[in-house]
């Protein structure tokens, strides 16, 4: 075997350990990200009910293929999360955007976050917070807010009807709501009342929840309430007996129907004790004015007539 010269052999021995100890080149850290968030449609830290709140933002620097998570909160609880692709904005900045419609009352918030990737660092924005602003509503007004207000009343048992316009039926249910809650007996739907309805406050508390499906007449509140157990499903403004001819109180049962008008101007009468009946009438003032019967509005009575049943209980108190 041929041997290497001593000098060359020494050079090989020195070179091999040097090659073995060489470390790979370090991977450069990704650039830091800077997120910014802008919330539109909010004035004085309030957004209108059923208003659209646009949320736009930027991330610097722009790196293709990145995503940003936008999180919405209602009363500090997660409401919705959107994962958005980042598009190229101006210069070295990326852009993203989304929006939310305010359908419920409460305290809203939004923030954006970018989780670190091998190409771009992570960042999170502070939460932007706002509350909901409610308008007054007026007869003849139409729109999503009116439709939402009707739905909120209906969930509490106020039969405000469908559609999205403030019609006469809604006005009567506003009156019923006011009577139940001890407010001025008119048909005004102010901003505070609208907010309370959207919050689900102001419902009627059934006095006889163990009676199954039944009717209740509160002389103090001047309302007729139809209920299934503890849940009211229809509430109507009424006028009961005036002081000289008061409505009898107690527990009775419906026993006789009389459709259409009679000679006394009573409309679709349903009798529950002797000559006492629930019936429609041309005049239904906001105070007790009848001869003892429970007067309802002409427009409401056919619906009431068919919601009640022969033999069903009625409690008058």
What is 21-33 written as a DSSP string? TPPPPPPPPPPPP
Our CA angle for 34, 35, 36, nearest 5°, is 125
Q: How far apart are CA 277 and CA 292, in angstroms?
A: 8
Contacts of 184-192 spanning 24+ positions with Cβ under 8 A: 185/222, 185/286, 185/287, 186/286, 187/139, 188/136, 189/136, 189/137, 189/138, 189/149, 190/136, 191/134, 191/135, 191/136, 192/134
pTM: 0.84
210: DSSP letter: G
Contacts of 38 by beta carbon, 8 Å cutoff, 6+ apart: 55, 56, 57
Q: How far apart are CA 114 and CA 33, in angstroms?
A: 8
Our CA angle for 234, 144, 224, nearest 5°, is 15
Give the model's pLDDT for residue 25. Answer: 66
Q: Which pLDDT tens digit goes with each residue over 80-122? A: 999 999 999 988 999 999 999 999 999 999 999 999 999 999 9
In this structure, whether the domain defined by 206-317 belongs to CATH 3.30.1330.60 is answered with no
Token reading at 267? 């409309």
According to CATH, the superfamily of the domain at 34-133 is Immunoglobulins (2.60.40.10)
Q: What's the chain's Rg over C-alpha atoms? A: 35
43: DSSP letter: B
Contact present, 132 and 102 (Cβ < 8 Å): yes
Q: How far apart are CA 109 and CA 186, in angstroms?
A: 36
Give the model's pLDDT for residue 83. Answer: 98
In the block, residue with structure tokens 């229809």: 234
What residue segments make up the domains of the chain, in order of their start?
34-133, 135-203, 206-317
CATH code reported for the domain at 135-203: 1.10.101.10
Give the model's pLDDT for residue 12. Answer: 41
Closest CA to 284 of 300, 295, 292: 295
> What percent helix, strand, coil does the chain show, rounded to 5?
20, 40, 45
Give the model's pLDDT for residue 15. Answer: 44
Given a cut of 50, the residues of the chain with pLDDT beneath it are 1-2, 4, 8-20
């Amino acid at each position: 075997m041929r041997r290497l010269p001593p000098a060359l052999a020494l050079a090989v021995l020195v070179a091999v350990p040097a090659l073995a100890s060489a470390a790979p080149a370090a991977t450069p850290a990704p650039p830091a990200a800077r997120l910014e968030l802008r919330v539109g449609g909010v004035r004085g830290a309030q957004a209108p009910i059923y208003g659209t709140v646009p949320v736009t933002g930027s991330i610097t620097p722009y790196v293709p293929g990145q995503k940003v998570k936008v999180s919405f909160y209602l009363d500090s609880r997660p409401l919705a999360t959107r994962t958005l692709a980042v598009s190229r904005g101006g210069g070295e900045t990326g852009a993203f955007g989304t929006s939310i419609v305010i359908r419920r009352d409460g305290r809203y918030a939004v923030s954006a976050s970018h989780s670190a990737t091998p190409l771009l660092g992570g960042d999170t924005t502070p939460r932007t917070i706002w509350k909901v602003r409610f308008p007054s509503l007026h007869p003849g007004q139409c729109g999503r807010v009116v439709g939402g207000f009707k739905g909120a009343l209906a969930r509490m048992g106020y039969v405000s009807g469908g559609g999205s316009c403030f019609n006469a039926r809604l006005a009567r249910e506003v009156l019923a709501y006011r009577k139940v809650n001890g407010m001025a007996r008119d048909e005004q739907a102010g901003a505070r009342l609208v907010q309370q309805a959207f919050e689900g406050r102001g419902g009627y508390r059934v006095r006889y929840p163990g009676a199954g499906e039944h009717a209740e007449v509160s002389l103090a509140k001047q309302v007729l309430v139809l209920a299934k157990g503890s849940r009211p499903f229809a509430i109507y403004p009424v006028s009961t007996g005036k002081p000289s001819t008061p409505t009898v109180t107690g527990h009775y049962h419906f026993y006789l129907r009389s459709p259409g008008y009679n000679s006394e101007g009573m409309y679709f009468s349903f009798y529950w004790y002797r000559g006492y009946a629930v019936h429609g009438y041309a005049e239904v003032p906001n105070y007790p004015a009848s001869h003892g019967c429970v007067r309802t509005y002409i427009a409401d009575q056919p619906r009431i007539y068919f919601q009640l049943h022969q033999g069903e209980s009625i409690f008058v108190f």
